[in-house]
A and B are shown apart, each in its own frame.
Chain A
Amino acid sequence: MASSTKSNSKTAKSSKNGKKSGTAGLDESVVTSKVDHLELFRQMFLIRQFEIACGENYSKGLIRGFLHLYIGQEATGVGAISTLREDDYVVSHYRDHGHALARGLDVNRSMAELFGRATGTSKGKGGSMHLFDAAKGFMGGHAIVAGQLPLAAGLALAQQYNKTDALTICFFGDGSTNQGIYHETMNLAAVWKLPVLFFLENNMYGMGSSIERVRAGGIDFYPGMATYGIPAAEVDGMDVLAVKEATEIAVERIRDGEGPQFIEAKTFRFSGHSLADGQKYRGQDEVKEWEERDPVATFPAQLIKRGLVTSDQIDEIKTEVNEAVAKAVEFAEQSPDPDLPEIYNDVLA
């Protein structure tokens, strides 16, 4: 599995035009010159530390319910969301912390939501799987597998209806492609040429099911998009710059009115599906192999090696992020639970 990923690791392919999008990554001076590398690193590191803190507080019983960590996948969310504008929408699934933080959700209020506190993004009524910040165009946090796909199509429909060139990006996992609604939404979006970017984070597993066990067509999803006439690209999800570049191309096409686009990032979650997962279904060798490509470690190392940033700059960010995460945990812990009358609010508008 990992080897097939590696063979594609530096290429964003377009299955429609057969046109290569060019080599992404640090070898490309055009790309590197205009990119805020430190900001990309800061976001990835923030997500990593946030998730580690979540895990710790789950063990302490301060976070409950299902908790799905984004550790290992940071480069996909960060690379993709870094290409968006403020008036774009972001839609995510239950593994949503990374997308939320990359979209700039308040770290304190996000953590407070996980703690179920009144200061949380949904006043403690949503939880880890249901983060929202409508003001930032972050439209959830959705926990029915694939249920968020038509929501994204509808947000894009509104953007099209209002004659803007804004777009909606929708994240989903490999497991969700086996839902009927996946087919329905792809077709609908294509028929109506909706400004939506379907972003598949193929982390090789849906809970305990490896793709081979649940999908007849192999581990590559992007070739199947030809069925819908949706241009599709594959990208190395462990390479934040490659993700960024592939997404930029897709975003530009959508803004040009070319309709929906599809990106498949090959990535991997380093921890279990949720904190309840004992990972009986996979060997640790496979995990180790992917961990060697950990973007949170390899990206800054490469930046330093290339002389694009200094290790002091990296350390400074790390200190700053660690403080912010510690503060967020403190904020969450000290925040009050919602008052009981809050039960009755927000049922109807």
Chain B
Amino acid sequence: MPEILLREALKRGLEEALESDPRVFMMGEDIGEYGGAYAVTDGFLKKFGPERIKDTPISEQAFLGAGIGAAAAGLRPIVEFMSISFTLVAFDQIVNMAANLRYMSGGQISVPMVIRAPTGAGVQLGATHSQSFETWLAEVPGMKVVCPSNPYDALGLMRSAIKDNNPVLVAEPALLYGAKGEVPDEYYEIEIGKADVTREGSDITLVSYGYGMRPVNDAADKLASRGVSAEVLDLRSLSPVDMDAIVASVQKTNRVVVVDNARRRGGVMAEIAADLQERASEWLDGPVMRVGSIDVPWPYNRGLEREVLVDADNVLTAVADGYGL
């Protein structure tokens, strides 16, 4: 199978949609002439023209809101944010409008819109540019949230997100744009709301998503070298979240560590841990262990930032603390 970068996988998904569906268009800051802050849309302006590749003013509320209106009128906008931290200035539009419109109109109006945003820390951008607010939006009814950890998933999830008739946030781990992975030429989609068991095991379940899969996979390797067989789940989708898959795995391994690349408090994993203690306590040999980045604003200094970010050692410590493995 050919190997491509995650950035290229996203690009392929977007390009296909622009080619096959005239209702699809893109908006965002510097996605056209400049080529996109992370070069995902490089070359699109030339190929699809300014009517479909719209450079916007630095007005996140207005262009995200305009995406909602265009979607309500039957188009299929794809709106890019330069950083998921900048979605905060448009949160009113995302939550009060995009996610609520269908419900408060009694099902009359849908918002088939994709919101793309780079997420996560790791490249020394400091507190305002390193956050992971997919965790906040995963709580909001009326929308979906996905986050790929590799190029294969990035393409499959992007295809599904664009076809979906709801607002879908595609959180793109900024540290993974340059990650390589195998992507087949044959068409496939990845269903939103289904987790992926990326590694089968029998002793302990490790759950994460997005960039968090890196420390989890490293930890699983280290555990394997010690004879501990870890089962690894990649959520792929944070809303809806595939609790059934997590519970099924826990029933098999009787041990679980959930790992959030975002801050530990209030993240998606906090929710999963709470659900697990309700649904799987009788299967568990120990506490639901939860790992996340340290609960401070993201520091700039490289050493400090690395320390705040979850790594494989944090995961292994949780495995040891919770289950003595």
Q: Which of B52-107 contact A (CB under 8 A)?
A: 54, 56-57, 59, 61-75, 77, 92-93, 96-97, 101-107
Residues from chain A with Cβ under 8 Å of B166 in the complex: 348-349
The size class of the interface chain A forms with chain B is 35 or more
Residues from chain A with Cβ under 8 Å of B73 in the complex: 89, 154-155, 158-159
| Chain B min CB distance to A130 (Å) | 4
Given A144-B96, A161-B70, A349-B110, also A181-B105 (CB < 8 A): no
B51 contacts A by Cβ under 8 Å: yes
Task: State the CA gap A157–B225 with chains docked (Å).
Answer: 57
Enumerate chain A interface residues (CB-CB to B < 8 A): 89, 120-126, 130, 132-135, 139-142, 144, 147, 149-159, 161, 168, 180-181, 184-185, 187-188, 191-192, 345-349
Enumerate chain B interface residues (CB-CB to A < 8 A): 25, 51, 54, 56-57, 59, 61-75, 77, 92-93, 96-97, 101-110, 112, 141-142, 144, 164-166
Name the one of A123, A124, A133, A157 contacting B66, with C-beta atoms under 8 angstroms. A157
CB–CB A188/B108 < 8 A: no
Task: State the CA gap A130–B108 with chains docked (Å).
Answer: 12
Name the one of B67, B75, B105, B141 contacting A347, with C-beta atoms under 8 angstroms. B141
Given A126-B104, A155-B70, A348-B166, also A134-B109 (CB < 8 A): yes
Given A134-B109, A139-B109, A144-B92, also A157-B104 (CB < 8 A): no
Residue from A124, A184, A188 whose CB has the most chain B CB atoms within 10 Å: A184
Residues from chain A with Cβ under 8 Å of B93 in the complex: 147, 150, 181
Could you list 13 further interchain pairs (A-B, Cβ under 8 angstroms) beyond the known A151-B72, A185-B66? A122-B106, A124-B106, A132-B108, A134-B105, A139-B69, A141-B104, A150-B65, A150-B66, A151-B66, A155-B69, A158-B75, A187-B62, A346-B103
Q: Which residue of B lies closest to A125 (CB)?
A: B106
| Chain A min CB distance to B143 (Å) | 8
Residues from chain B with Cβ under 8 Å of A121 in the complex: 106
Task: State the CA gap A206–B219 with chains docked (Å).
Answer: 58
CB–CB B59/A132 < 8 A: no
CB–CB B72/A139 < 8 A: yes
Residues from chain A with Cβ under 8 Å of B65 in the complex: 147, 149-151, 153-154, 181, 185
Name the one of A125, A157, A346 contacting B70, with C-beta atoms under 8 angstroms. A157
